Amino acid sequence: MIVIARLTVRELVRRRVVWVLAALTILSVALVAWGLDRLVSLARQDGTNELEIRIGVSQVLIMIAFMFSFVLAMTAAFVGAPAIGGELESGVALAILARPLRRVELLLGRWLGSAVVVVAYTVASGLLAIAVAVQISGYGPPDPFLAVAFLSGQALVLLTLTLALGSVLPSIAAGAIAVVGFGLGWMAGVLAGVAAAFGVGLLGQVAEVSRWIFPSDGLWRGVIYGLEPPLVVMLATGNLPRFADANPFYATAPPPLPFVIWSITWIVLVLGVAGWWFERRDL
Amino acid sequence: MLVGRFRRSERCGWLVTPSVSTAAIEFDGITKTYGRTTALDGLSLRVGHGELVGLLGPNGAGKTTAIKLILGLVRPTSGTGRVLGAPLGDRLARSRIGYLPELFRYQPWLRAREVLVWHAELAGVAPARRAAAADEALDHVGLTERADDPVSGFSKGMQQRLGLGVALLGQPDLILLDEPTSALDPVGRTDVRAILRAARDRGATVILNSHLLTEVERVCDRVVILHRGRAIASGALDEVVAADGVRLRVSDLGEAGRAGLRRFGPLSVDGEWLSIRPLDAARIPEVVAAVVAAGGRVHAVEPGRGSLEARFLELVTAPEESA
C-alpha cells in the first residue's frame, strides 16, 4: 500500500499537479489579501467601527471558505477520478495487478497518496488565507484549525467517493457523480435548514437523511463554526434561531460528535465496499 | 493434488514450492462467461515446467482470458485451476510470474529504469537487487541507452520492449506474454525469439500468446489451439502440425462417398473442397481413385506440406460436423 501511495505522490509531483496547486494557493491567498485590504481600508475610511469590520471580515472569510470548498471538491474529483479508473482504462493497472499486490492495496495506496496531497493543499491554503486575514484586519477566527480540519474532512469525503466510484465506473462518470453528489449534499443541507425553519417535517427528514448519506454538507457546518465569531452566533441564536439555522452560511453549533464519527466511518465504509467490489470485478 | 512445502523467499515472504513434480499451469474444465458471451467453454489444459508453449487461436478464441485467469485478473465462472502449485491468481505465486499484457501501457511520466525499479519493488525483489535487476532487464530488451528517457517519449515498439523487460524482471519462473511482438519490427521479433529461448534454457515456463504462427512455429515446443473457448488441438509442434495432406475439389460425391474417404485419415469439408490430413503423399492416387469409384468428379488435387498455419486454418475453419 505504501509503495502505491509513494508512487501516487510522486506522480502528482511529476505531473505538476502539486506545483499547480501551490501556484493556485499563492494566487488565491494574494487575491484574498488584496480584497480584504481594500475592504478594510475603505471601511475604516468611512468610519466603520472595528467590531463591525471584524464581523464583516468573518463573513467574507466564510464566503471565501465556501468557494474554496467548491474548488477543493473539484480538485478531489480531478485527482481521485483517474487514480484507479484511468489506469484501468489505459491498461496500466493490468501490469500492476499482475504483481503480488492485493487490489485493495492499490485502492488504499491510491487513496492515501491522493489524500496526503489534497489535505496538504487544504491545510496550506486554508491556514495561509486565515493568517493573511488576521494580519490585515486584526480579526482572528475562533478556531481556524477546527475550520481547516473540517474543510480537509470535506475534501476527503469527495476524494473517497470519486476514487471508490472510479474503481467500478469509468473515470469521467466517477468524477461527474461525485461533483453532482457534492452539490446535492449542499442543497440537502440548505433544504434541511429551511424545512426546520418552516416546520416542513417530511422535507426536513429527507434532507437530514441525505445529509447523513453524503456527509460533506455536515462537515461544511463545522468549517463555518470554526470561522464564525461568537458574537454572530450569539446574535443569531438569540434572535429567531430557527431562521438562523436555515442560512447555509451560519452554524450555531459544531457538527455533533456522532456525526464526526459517522463521517470517518463513512469514509472507511465507502473504501471497504469499493475494495470488496474491486476485488471481485473482472479486469 | 499438489503436496507443497513452505519456504522463506528472499524476494517475497512465504512461497509454496512444489515438493513433487507438477504442472506449471493446470486448467480443469474452466468456463468463463462475460454476460451472454462465453470466452472459455470447459477448457482443460496442462503446461509442464520449463515448456515454451504457444497459445493460438482466432480473435475471440479466449487466449487473453486464459492468461488473465492465470493471474487472477478475471475469475472462472466454473471449473478450477492451479498455477505454480497454487490456486489461479494466488498472490504469492504472482511474485514468480512475469506478464506482458496485450494492452501494454506503463506510467508515461516515469523513466524506463524507474518503471523497472518500481516493478521490481512490487515483485518483492530485495532493495539491494532492484537496480541491478532493472539494468539486466533493460539490457535484455535492448533499452540500456534509453534507460533514463521518459516513457512518454517511447514509440509503441519501445514500450513493448519495456513491457517485455517488466515481464522478464527478476527471472520469473513463469512468463506470460500476450502478443509480445505485435508492435515490433523484424529485428525486434528476432530479439524476442532469442529472449524466449534463453528463458526456456534457464528453466522458465513460457506461455506465448500470438497470432504470428511463424513466430510460434520457430520457438515453441508445444502449441495449444483455442477456438470458441475450447482447446481444439494441443501437443508437441510436430504432432499438431501433423504431416502432409491433400486438398481436392470434388463434385457429385455423395455422403456415402465422403464417409468412405475417412478411411484415409481425418476429413474436413469446405464446400466442394475436401481435405485429408495427415496423409502420406504416396496415397494421394488411392484417394483420387476412391473418389472416382464413388461417382465423384475430381477438378483439382493439391498435395500440401504440413505447416502450423495450414493446420490452424484447417482446424478453425472446419465445419463442426467434420471436426
* pLDDT of res. B242: 60
pLDDT in tens, A104-114: 999 999 999 99
Residues of A in contact with B121 (CB under 8 A): 3
A2 touches chain B (CB under 8 A): no
Residue A261 in grid coordinates: 464519527
Q: Which residue of B has its CA nearest to A6?
A: B118
In this predicted structure, the answer to whether residue A253 has a pLDDT above a threshold of 90 is: no
Count how many residues are written for chain A.
283
- Distance from B106 to chain A by nearest Cα, in Å? 5
Strand order in the sheet with B86-87: B37-47, B25-34, B78-83, B86-87
pLDDT band at B5 (very low <50, low <70, confident <90, very high): very low
Residues 6+ apart with CB under 8 A from B84: B16, B18, B24, B25, B90, B93, B96, B97, B173, B174
A52-94 per-position pLDDT tens digit:
888 888 888 888 888 888 888 888 888 888 889 888 888 899 9
Question: Residues of A with CB below 8 A from B34's CB?
Answer: 282
pLDDT-derived band at B14 (thresholds 50, 70, 90) equals very low
Nearest CB partner across the interface for B71, out of A91, A98, A280:
A98
Q: Contact B122/A14, CB-based, under 8 Å?
A: no
Mean pLDDT of the B213-233 span: 88
Beta-bridged to residue B176, according to DSSP, are B99, B207
**pLDDT given for residue B313 in this prediction:** 80
- pLDDT per position as a tens digit, B313-323: 877 776 654 43
What is the model's pLDDT at position B18? 42
Contact of A168 with chain B, judged by CB distance below 8 Å, is answered with no
Q: Which residue from B minimizes the CA distance to A283? A: B73
Tell whether A14 lies on the interface with B, counting CB pairs under 8 A: yes
CB pair distance less than 8 Å for A15 and B109: yes
Torsion of CA A23, A26, A31, A32, to 10 degrees: 140
User: What's the rounded mean pLDDT across residues B121-145?
Assistant: 92
In the three-class reduction of DSSP (H, G, I as helix; E, B as strand; rest coil), residue B18 is classed as: strand
Residue-averaged pLDDT of chain A: 86
d(CA A22, CA B242): 68
Distance CA A2, CA B122 (A): 11
Q: Single out the residue of B174, B173, B148 nearest to residue B162, CA to CA.
A: B148
> What rounded mean pLDDT belongs to chain B?
86
Report the C-alpha gap between A90 and B103 in whole angstroms. 8
Give the span between the Cα atoms of B232 and A246, in whole angstroms.
Answer: 71
Q: Which residues of B touch A15 (CB under 8 A)?
A: 109
Closest partner CB to A98 (pick from B75, B94, B106): B94
Residue in chain A nearest B64 by alpha carbon = A283
Helices (H), chain A: 2-14, 17-45, 50-90, 92-97, 103-137, 144-166, 171-198, 201-213, 216-227, 230-238, 241-246, 257-280
| pLDDT grade for B308, boundaries at 50, 70 and 90 | confident
- What average pLDDT does the segment B200-217 reach? 89
Do B123 and A95 count as a contact with CB atoms less than 8 A apart?
no
Predicted confidence band at B95 (pLDDT cuts at 50, 70, 90)? very high
Q: How confident is the model at residue A238 (pLDDT cuts 50, 70, 90)?
A: low
Residue located via cell numbers 520469473: B172
**Residue A121 · residue A25 · CB < 8 Å:** yes
Q: Which pTM was predicted?
A: 0.81
pLDDT digit string (tens) for A6-54? 999 888 888 888 888 889 888 988 988 898 889 888 888 888 888 888 8
Higher pLDDT, B273 or B4: B273
Report yes or no: A125 and A29 within 8 Å, Cβ to Cβ.
yes
A98 with B107: Cβ contact below 8 A? no
Pick the more confident residue, B302 or A270. Answer: A270
Which chain A residues have a beta carbon less than 8 Å from that of B66? Answer: none
B211: cell is: 497470432
Q: Count Cβ–Cβ pairs < 8 Å, chain A vs chain B.
A: 65
Q: Supply the ipTM of this predicted assembly.
A: 0.80
3-state secondary structure of B17: strand
Q: What is the pLDDT of residue B16?
A: 39
